[in-house]
Amino acid sequence: MKKYDFRAGEVLVIDKPLTWTSFQVVNKLKYLIKHHPSLVVDGKRVEPKIGHAGTLDPLATGLLIVCTGKQTKNIELYQGQEKEYTGTFYIGATTPCFDREKEIDAYYPTEHITDELIYTTTKQFIGKIQQTPPLFSAVKINGKRAYDIARAGKTAEIKPKEIIISEFKITRIALPEVDFRVVCSKGTYIRSLARDFGEALKSGAHLTALRRTRIGNYHVDEAITIDDFQHSLN
């Protein structure tokens, strides 16, 4: 049994499973630790403080940093660190949410797309760029979450914001699929990058796979599954 002190603070490096929301992961971990001895003070059990340092979409997997106790004060510090992702774009089709959570809503030509064009197009996205987040996102618009507006069948204008992409590498081309690796700043939406990349190719694209592999100095190779964490408590 590993020694934890969830009240003093732990940084849990979790490999988020596919289809789980980040909120579900936090709730599951909170349930698992609520009876831990470190949360007993003067014979009374205290409510564990817990939160994650950067949302991952349900269809994404990989590194999710979860902080407990006094470490929750450092959540913003982790959120602000550089992130790395790997994944797959599907070229020639789009969806309303820019990933495969929704059905394809339009198809686009791809006959003109060559390997050279794909490699060259990545250069447009290196450095400081303006990016518009998806409507299906947690961005707030007049106090409301954008995804609540989208799920109500409404539209709203989302202002672009400056992000930094320091690396954008293509690792496999097998059209309509293109694999990539991206290193980027806080606030970058890889789903938006898929949309913008498709448009830059004079076509369309959406995200079909995404894995967060690094946040700052934390790497997914160090992460544990929720099941592994549960076993470490026994």
89, 178 Cβ separation under 8 angstroms? yes
- Residue 231: both structure tokens together: 């076993």
Q: 47 Cβ partners below 8 Å, 6+ apart?
A: 34, 39
Beta bridge partners of 181: 86, 169
Catalytic residue among 57, 99, 148, 179: 57
The Cβ of residue 110 has, within 10 Å, a number of other Cβ atoms equal to 17
133, 145 Cβ separation under 8 angstroms? no
Residue 231's identity, in one-letter code, is H
The Cβ of residue 91 has, within 10 Å, a number of other Cβ atoms equal to 22
- Is 57 an annotated catalytic residue? yes
Name the burial class of residue 95, with classes exposed (0-12), middle (13-18) and buried (19+) by CB atoms within 10 angstroms of its CB: buried
Q: Which three-class secondary structure string do you get for 76-91? A: HHHHCCCEEEEEEEEE
175, 91 Cβ separation under 8 angstroms? yes
Residue 106's identity, in one-letter code, is A
Catalytically active residues, by annotation? 57
